[in-house]
């Protein structure tokens, strides 16, 4: 059960979200393996995702 998604479609939605965030910070992600990214590139994608999640949460509180 460790790798099983509890929410159907969640993996695809997160993948789309990741691709969108990467596009916004100018990082070209490929479908599948992206282990050739630098730490800076990977960090910028993750940071953008967090910023977008925080903004969505804050907007929902208004």
Mean predicted lDDT score pLDDT of the chain: 91
Q: What percent of the chain has pLDDT over 90?
A: 74
Q: Which domain holds residue 52?
A: 10-26+35-61
Burial class (CB in 10 A: 0-12, 13-18, 19+), 8: exposed
| Any domain includes 3 | no
Position 5 in a domain: no
Number of domains the chain contains: 1
Tell whether 52 is covered by a domain: yes
pLDDT above 70 coverage of the chain, percent:
92
Q: What is the pLDDT of residues 22-46, one digit of tens each?
A: 999 999 999 889 999 999 999 999 9
Q: How many residues does the structure list for the chain? A: 62
């Amino acid at each position: 059960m460790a790798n099983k998604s509890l929410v159907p479609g969640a993996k695809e939605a997160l993948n789309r979200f990741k691709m969108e965030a990467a596009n916004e910070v100018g990082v070209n992600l490929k479908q599948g393996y992206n282990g050739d990214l630098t730490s800076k590139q990977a960090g910028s994608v993750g940071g953008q995702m967090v910023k977008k999640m925080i903004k969505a949460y804050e907007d929902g509180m208004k």
